[in-house]
């Protein structure tokens, strides 16, 4: 059921360079990546691999990255002829991207300047900042500003990622589609932090004493999971529930065994991670419960990693996957796979729940852009 390809000049986004990998005779989708950390680099690498996508610019916040060839910076081991820049406006003007993927930060306030700079230059944005998955959860005013800015400049903006953005919200919402009534929702994600570096580990209190963990919670250095409010409000909005309040709790996961990763050693009695839960109340009753214990090597204490969703209602539905969907790979895939959805969306702020579902792009990325509703052909 492949539909019409966008012909050059027809779709607004495809009007410029002749693509390097363009067997179809159409321009590549020109991608600007913002952020050259672990996620930004992974996304940029994927853009360079994917037929139909073209990495045209990479921006970093850290000035020491400026001037480095992006191919080296993201670990390709070869020069790509694109130098990392720190001035986003110049990057946009010089490269005229069709879409930007934003991977520099987690917080809305921290992301706004970069995102609105892109929108004001008519560049659609996909952000993996956790708070961008449902911006109104942290600031309705900023969400409204984002929406107005995107509408004014005729482009779409979306937040995505594995969590928030998929496992504990989009997947939950999708499953509720088979229900006529719902009493409560519980979703749990048990993951293993051992692949992660020092900044993630310290944000979860890994390696601390129980006392230092509690102090970290108090002074804000131990944060646990960032995204519960976003997931809860996305679910509640999709279902039409009004949430009274959200009760979040963070407790130390105290190890009984030695757990070691390249970046930390957790001795028995020390903290292996953060057991973070959030319960959302509606009319005084708990209706959404999200559970996300994050730690290094949970299997050393016999704990299996995995994703689990249970919806108690008519009918009751539950789904389990083990091990958990990998966070880094999943987030990179979602950011890339949502490109056609965002390019095809109406202008404005979107969430994962109000666009068509993502799908792996197993063909040239341009094929998936500007497909009409003409579902009249089978493939093959």
- For a copy of itself, the binding residues in 328-367 under the rule CB under 8 A are 329-330, 332-334, 336-338, 345-351, 353-364, 367
- Residue 232 has phi, psi (to 5 degrees) of -65, -45
Closest among 25, 158, 54 to 102, alpha carbons compared:
158
Give the burial class of 163: count Cβ atoms within 10 A of its Cβ; 0-12 exposed, 13-18 middle, 19 or more buried: buried
Q: Which is nearer to a copy of itself, 65 or 225 (CB)?
A: 225
Whole-angstrom distance, CA of residue 19 vs CA of residue 111: 30
Q: Which is nearer to a copy of itself, 74 or 334 (CB)?
A: 334
Query: Which residues inside 3-22 make contact with a copy of itself, applying CB under 8 A?
Result: none
Bridge partners of residue 288, in order along the sequence: 185, 280
- By CB under 8 A, residue 107 contacts a copy of itself: no
# of chain residues touching a copy of itself (CB under 8 A): 90
How far from 86 is each of 16, 66, 89, 109, 145, CA to CA, in Å?
Answer: 24, 6, 9, 19, 24
Q: Which is nearer to a copy of itself, 34 or 236 (CB)?
A: 236
Q: Which is nearer to a copy of itself, 51 or 202 (CB)?
A: 51
Report helix, strand or coil for 33. Answer: strand
Q: Considering only residues 325, 339, 343, 369, which one is a binding residue for a copy of itself as defined by CB under 8 A?
A: 325
Closest among 345, 347, 340 to 154, alpha carbons compared:
347
Q: In this structure, are residues 207 and 273 in contact, taking their beta carbons and an 8 Å threshold?
A: no
Q: Which is nearer to a copy of itself, 10 or 15 (CB)?
A: 10
**HSE value, Cβ hemisphere, 13 Å, CA-based, for 123:** 29
Q: Which is nearer to a copy of itself, 266 or 336 (CB)?
A: 336
**HSE value, Cβ hemisphere, 13 Å, CA-based, for 369:** 27
Task: Give residues with Cβ within 8 angstroms of 1, minimum separation 6.
Answer: 375, 376, 377, 378, 379
Q: Considering only residues 237, 250, 291, 298, which one is a binding residue for a copy of itself as defined by CB under 8 A?
A: 237
Question: Which contiguous run of DSSP H or E holds residue 148?
Answer: helix 140-152
Q: Considering only residues 73, 125, 132, 137, which one is a binding residue for a copy of itself as defined by CB under 8 A?
A: 137
- By CB under 8 A, residue 211 contacts a copy of itself: no
Query: Which residues inside 141-200 make contact with a copy of itself, applying CB under 8 A?
Result: 143-144, 146-147, 151, 162, 166, 170-171, 173-174, 176-182
Closest among 73, 122, 120 to 97, alpha carbons compared:
122
Q: Considering only residues 168, 222, 238, 266, which one is a binding residue for a copy of itself as defined by CB under 8 A?
A: 238
- By CB under 8 A, residue 317 contacts a copy of itself: yes
Query: Which residues inside 245-304 make contact with a copy of itself, applying CB under 8 A?
Result: 245, 282
Q: Which is nearer to a copy of itself, 78 or 362 (CB)?
A: 362
Give the burial class of 63: count Cβ atoms within 10 A of its Cβ; 0-12 exposed, 13-18 middle, 19 or more buried: exposed
Q: In this structure, are residues 357 and 333 in contact, taking their beta carbons and an 8 Å threshold?
A: no
Work out how close the CB of 334 gets to a copy of itself at its nearest, in angstroms, rounded to a whole number.
6
Q: Considering only residues 200, 239, 303, 312, which one is a binding residue for a copy of itself as defined by CB under 8 A?
A: 239
Q: Considering only residues 81, 242, 262, 284, which one is a binding residue for a copy of itself as defined by CB under 8 A?
A: 242
Q: Which is nearer to a copy of itself, 169 or 207 (CB)?
A: 169
The one segment of 32-40, 78-86, 115-123, 315-323 that binds a copy of itself by CB under 8 A: 315-323
Q: Which is nearer to a copy of itself, 94 or 329 (CB)?
A: 329
Work out how close the CB of 200 gets to a copy of itself at its nearest, in angstroms, rounded to a whole number.
18
Q: Which is nearer to a copy of itself, 21 or 96 (CB)?
A: 21
Q: Considering only residues 19, 135, 205, 293, which one is a binding residue for a copy of itself as defined by CB under 8 A?
A: 135
Whole-angstrom distance, CA of residue 82 vs CA of residue 91: 11
**HSE value, Cβ hemisphere, 13 Å, CA-based, for 309:** 18
Query: Which residues inside 16-55 make contact with a copy of itself, applying CB under 8 A?
Result: 46, 50
């Amino acid at each position: 059921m492949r539909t019409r390809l966008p012909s050059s000049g027809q779709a607004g986004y495809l009007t410029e360079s002749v693509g390097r990998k363009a067997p179809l005779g159409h321009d590549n989708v020109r991608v600007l990546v913002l952020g050259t950390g672990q996620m930004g680099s992974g996304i940029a690498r994927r853009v360079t691999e994917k037929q139909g996508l073209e990495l045209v610019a990479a921006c970093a916040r850290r000035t020491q990255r400026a001037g480095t060839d992006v191919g080296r910076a993201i670990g390709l081991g070869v020069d790509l002829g694109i130098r990392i820049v720190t001035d986003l406006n110049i990057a946009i003007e010089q490269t005229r991207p069709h879409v930007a993927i934003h991977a520099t930060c987690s917080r809305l306030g921290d992301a706004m300047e970069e995102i609105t700079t892109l929108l004001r230059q008519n560049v659609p944005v996909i952000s993996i900042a956790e708070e961008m998955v449902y911006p109104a959860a942290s600031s309705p005013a900023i969400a409204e500003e984002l929406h107005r800015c995107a509408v004014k400049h005729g482009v779409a903006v979306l937040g995505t990622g594995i969590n928030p953005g998929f496992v504990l919200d989009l997947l939950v919402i999708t499953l509720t589609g088979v229900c006529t009534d719902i009493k409560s929702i519980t979703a749990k994600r048990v993951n293993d932090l051992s692949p992660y570096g020092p900044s993630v580990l310290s944000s979860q209190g890994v390696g601390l004493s129980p006392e230092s963990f509690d102090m970290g919670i108090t002074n804000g250095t131990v944060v646990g999971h960032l995204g519960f409010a976003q997931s809860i409000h996305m679910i509640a909005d999709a279902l039409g529930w009004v949430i009274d309040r959200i009760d979040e709790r963070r407790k130390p996961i105290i190890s009984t065994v030695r757990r070691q990763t390249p970046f930390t050693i957790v001795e028995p009695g020390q903290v292996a991670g953060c057991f973070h839960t959030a319960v959302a109340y509606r009319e005084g009753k708990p209706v959404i419960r999200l559970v996300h214990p994050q730690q290094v090597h949970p299997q050393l204490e016999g704990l299996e990693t995995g994703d689990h969703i249970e919806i108690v209602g008519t009918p009751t539905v539950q789904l389990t996957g083990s091990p958990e969907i990998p966070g880094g790979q999943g987030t990179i895939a979602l950011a890339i796979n949502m490109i056609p959805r965002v390019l095809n969306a109406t202008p404005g702020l979107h969430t994962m729940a109000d666009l068509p579902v993502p799908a792996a792009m197993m063909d040239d990325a341009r094929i998936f852009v500007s497909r009409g509703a003409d579902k009249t052909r089978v493939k093959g």
